[in-house]
Structure 1
Amino acid sequence: MLEIKNLSFNYGRRKKEVLSHFSLSLRQGGIYGLLGKNGTGKSTLLALISGLLTPCQGEIIYKGKDVRRRLPDTLCDLFLVPEEFELPSLTLARYIKLNSCFYPRFSTEDMRRYLDLFELDADLNLGTLSMGQKKKVFMSFALAANTSLLLMDEPTNGLDIPGKSQFRKLIASGMSDEKCVVISTHQVRDIDRMLDHVVIIDGSRVLLDQSVADICRTFVFRESSSRELVGQALYALPSVEGNSLILPNAGGEETEINLELLFGAVLAEPDKIAAMFHA
């Protein structure tokens, strides 16, 4: 669906490159978690993919077309939910009427369904909403647009605990084999059970690009106080139960991914973790 080739970008000639000779491919039918430390270019990458920024070098090809051309049939098939945004002081009905025309597959029925998931009424004035409520409305609109590619930057920021649960249901209910969702976040515990694929970047290279299924086939994620297991671990973090461990999965054991632990391991030992997938 999306090919990023040799991409470089900075915010001025005298400033350091945010992305440098960066390449990545995304396929349809999956929910991608995009992770990286602060300043590694995650938000910039999403802005480049959506056509809001123009790369200094390289290209981004979406369904065979260069995103920098900003063709109408490209822009109407992707949607970016940024971390920070403003909504006009309009009724929701008026907002939908003004903006839904840019998305040929927008569904009013889907919009109502997503608002119900967030326990919001359709009869709203956007100017009176809290930031958390605005985010829920905007994400509902984004899903209802039914674009093939949905980009979300820190979507759970500003949501309360019920809202985060509702967000996970929202994404699950809006997915199909034709869609691709990319979620950039530091709140890894909010999304670790909903991802199909994990991408960890550092601005110049992709440190990890693997499906959750392959990650769980390669590693065992375990809580243990055993010194023997700590000695065998590829990576360990202190926890309430002793230590959170990543171990080689030699016996085909099934465990759930610990995204926070995986992220720490990849940053600490990127070459060691990458080599496990080629062993």
Structure 2
Amino acid sequence: MISIKKLSFSYPKKPRLCEEMDLELGEGKIIGLLGMNGAGKSTLMRLMAGLLKPVSGEVKFQEISTFDRAVSFLNQMIFVPEKVSVPEFLKVNEYVSIYKDFYTGFDLERFEKLLSEFQIIGNQRISNLSFGQQKKLQIAIGLSTGAKLLLFDEPTNGLDIPSKSTFRRVLSGSLQEDQTMVISTHQVKDIENLVDQIIVLDEGKVKLHADLEALENQFVFSQGPQAPEQAVFVESHLLGAQYITRQLEGERISGGSPDLELLFNAVIAGKLTGEFLSTQNQVTHE
């Protein structure tokens, strides 16, 4: 689906945000893109969308360079930025009647259902919508395009708690086998139990790209009064500690779904990396 090879990028007179980055994203996955502020999450999303040109290397969608902005690519990609910009003089239904013509697979019935889920009325003027409602409008459009590649940058920013719950509900199980969704966020809890894969960016590098199922098979994410000595990563708090330990061979322990916030902190601290996971895989299969 998306192939990134030897990608480097920087803005003029600023440090590089991507440095010789390699990444492959397959179909049928919801991928969480995590990183600290300034780590380059939004920049990577814009490179995937073809809105920025790499300094070197390549970003391809099904062998098409994204920066070429070919019609065949644009028809299969939707990018929902963190800061929405919509024509406020139009009504919602007028806006979508224009937007849908750019996507041959646009599902108007699904769009209207999502509007209902998000409690937005079609004949409302966009200027009368709050920022959160405008954000939900863009999300509803994005999910209705039928695009193969969906890029959502901080989609839950500006949403209240019920809207976040609705976002997770409508997204869960709605992705088709030939679609890929990348969600960039710093609000890790908003995408827990939703994503299939996780990517952690730090210092211009991909520090981790892993399936959550594989992580669950290799590690236990738990908490208690005290962390065991063999813990890979520990975070202490007033009531004890949260920690990550390795699964013992032949003793599968259920620790539930990986705690993404704990996982992210472990990666940033250098306790869990792609290299570490590769080593664990080698040990497991020996």
Is the 8 Å Cα contact of residues 29 and 179 (structure 1) preserved in structure 2?
yes
The whole-number CA distance in structure 2 between the counterparts of 1:238 and 1:122 is 49
| Corresponding residue for residue 74 of structure 1 | 73
Question: Cα distance 1:98–1:244, how it changes in 2: closer, same or farther (>3 A)?
Answer: same
| Corresponding residue for residue 127 of structure 1 | 127
Is the 8 Å Cα contact of residues 220 and 247 (structure 1) preserved in structure 2?
yes
| Corresponding residue for residue 212 of structure 1 | 212
Residue identity matched to 1:30: K
The whole-number CA distance in structure 2 between the counterparts of 1:247 and 1:277 is 16
Gaps of 5+ in 1: none
Residue identity matched to 1:80: F
Is the 8 Å Cα contact of residues 265 and 273 (structure 1) preserved in structure 2?
no
Mapping of 1:6-155 within 5 angstroms?
Answer: 6-12=6-12, 14-89=13-88, 90-155=90-155
Identity over the aligned pairs, expressed in percent? Answer: 35
Is the 8 Å Cα contact of residues 107 and 146 (structure 2) preserved in structure 1?
yes
Is the 8 Å Cα contact of residues 117 and 169 (structure 1) preserved in structure 2?
no
| Corresponding residue for residue 263 of structure 2 | 262
Residue identity matched to 1:6: K
Return the offset for 1:277: 4.0
SS state at 2:279 partner: coil
| Corresponding residue for residue 186 of structure 2 | 186
Mapping of 1:215-230 within 5 angstroms?
Answer: 215-226=215-226, 229=228
Gaps of 5+ in 2: 281-286
Which string of whole-angstrom CA distances, capped at 9 and with x for unpartnered residues, describes residues 99-143 of structure 1?
111111111101011112212222221111111111111100011
TM-score (norm 1): 0.95
The number of equivalent residue pairs is 276
The whole-number CA distance in structure 2 between the counterparts of 1:232 and 1:118 is 46
The whole-number CA distance in structure 2 between the counterparts of 1:272 and 1:68 is 30
The whole-number CA distance in structure 2 between the counterparts of 1:200 and 1:70 is 27
Return the offset for 1:182: 0.3
Question: Cα distance 1:276–1:74, how it changes in 2: closer, same or farther (>3 A)?
Answer: closer
TM-score (norm 2): 0.92
Question: Aligned-residue CA RMSD in angstroms?
Answer: 1.5
Is the 8 Å Cα contact of residues 105 and 145 (structure 1) preserved in structure 2?
yes
